[in-house]
Amino acid sequence: MPQEIFDKEKFLEIAQRAKECRIKRLGEIVKLKLRTRRRLYTIKLPKGEAEALLNKIKCEKVEV
Protein backbone atom coordinates (compact mmCIF):
# COMPACT_ATOMS: atom_id res chain seq x y z
CA MET A 1 0.00 0.00 0.00
CA PRO A 2 1.25 3.51 -0.75
CA GLN A 3 1.77 5.87 2.14
CA GLU A 4 0.88 9.56 1.77
CA ILE A 5 3.34 12.07 3.22
CA PHE A 6 2.24 15.59 4.17
CA ASP A 7 5.60 17.06 5.27
CA LYS A 8 7.97 18.28 2.52
CA GLU A 9 11.09 17.85 4.67
CA LYS A 10 10.26 14.21 5.39
CA PHE A 11 9.61 13.68 1.67
CA LEU A 12 13.08 15.06 0.83
CA GLU A 13 14.63 12.77 3.43
CA ILE A 14 12.94 9.73 1.88
CA ALA A 15 13.99 10.90 -1.62
CA GLN A 16 17.64 10.37 -0.69
CA ARG A 17 17.12 6.60 -0.56
CA ALA A 18 14.51 6.33 -3.33
CA LYS A 19 15.15 4.59 -6.64
CA GLU A 20 12.98 6.96 -8.68
CA CYS A 21 10.47 9.79 -8.45
CA ARG A 22 7.38 9.58 -10.63
CA ILE A 23 5.64 12.84 -11.48
CA LYS A 24 1.93 12.96 -12.32
CA ARG A 25 0.50 16.34 -13.28
CA LEU A 26 -3.23 16.74 -12.55
CA GLY A 27 -4.11 20.29 -13.63
CA GLU A 28 -3.12 22.62 -10.77
CA ILE A 29 -2.04 19.73 -8.51
CA VAL A 30 1.12 17.68 -8.96
CA LYS A 31 1.41 14.24 -7.41
CA LEU A 32 4.95 13.04 -6.64
CA LYS A 33 5.59 9.36 -5.98
CA LEU A 34 8.82 8.02 -4.48
CA ARG A 35 9.63 4.36 -5.05
CA THR A 36 11.82 2.88 -2.34
CA ARG A 37 12.81 -0.71 -1.89
CA ARG A 38 9.84 -1.56 0.32
CA ARG A 39 7.19 1.11 -0.11
CA LEU A 40 5.71 3.78 -2.37
CA TYR A 41 5.41 7.26 -0.84
CA THR A 42 3.22 10.00 -2.33
CA ILE A 43 2.71 13.71 -1.80
CA LYS A 44 0.26 16.12 -3.47
CA LEU A 45 1.36 19.73 -3.97
CA PRO A 46 0.41 22.82 -6.00
CA LYS A 47 2.48 23.34 -9.18
CA GLY A 48 4.87 25.97 -7.79
CA GLU A 49 5.72 24.06 -4.62
CA ALA A 50 6.17 20.81 -6.56
CA GLU A 51 8.65 22.39 -8.99
CA ALA A 52 10.70 23.78 -6.10
CA LEU A 53 10.73 20.35 -4.44
CA LEU A 54 11.69 18.60 -7.68
CA ASN A 55 14.76 20.82 -8.01
CA LYS A 56 16.02 19.48 -4.65
CA ILE A 57 15.45 15.79 -5.47
CA LYS A 58 18.51 13.99 -6.86
CA CYS A 59 17.02 10.58 -7.80
CA GLU A 60 15.82 9.64 -11.28
CA LYS A 61 12.65 11.51 -12.34
CA VAL A 62 10.00 9.93 -14.58
CA GLU A 63 6.99 11.82 -16.02
CA VAL A 64 3.81 9.71 -15.97
3-state secondary structure the chain: CCEECCCHHHHHHHHCCCCEEEEEEECCEEEEEEECCCCEEEEEEEHHHHHHHHHHCCCEEEEC
Does the residue 64 lie in any domain? Answer: no
How many separate domains does the chain show? 1
User: Of all helices (H) and strands (E), which one includes residue 39?
Assistant: none
pLDDT of residue 43: 97
Does the residue 32 lie in any domain? Answer: yes
What letter would DSSP give residue 41? E
For the full predicted model, state whether its pTM sits above 0.85.
yes
pLDDT of residue 40: 97
pLDDT of residue 20: 96
pLDDT of residue 33: 97
In angstroms, the CA 53 to CA 56 distance is 5
Q: What domain range includes position 20?
A: 3-59
Taking only the tens place, the pLDDT of each residue in 10-60 is: 999 999 999 999 999 999 999 999 999 999 999 999 999 999 999 999 999
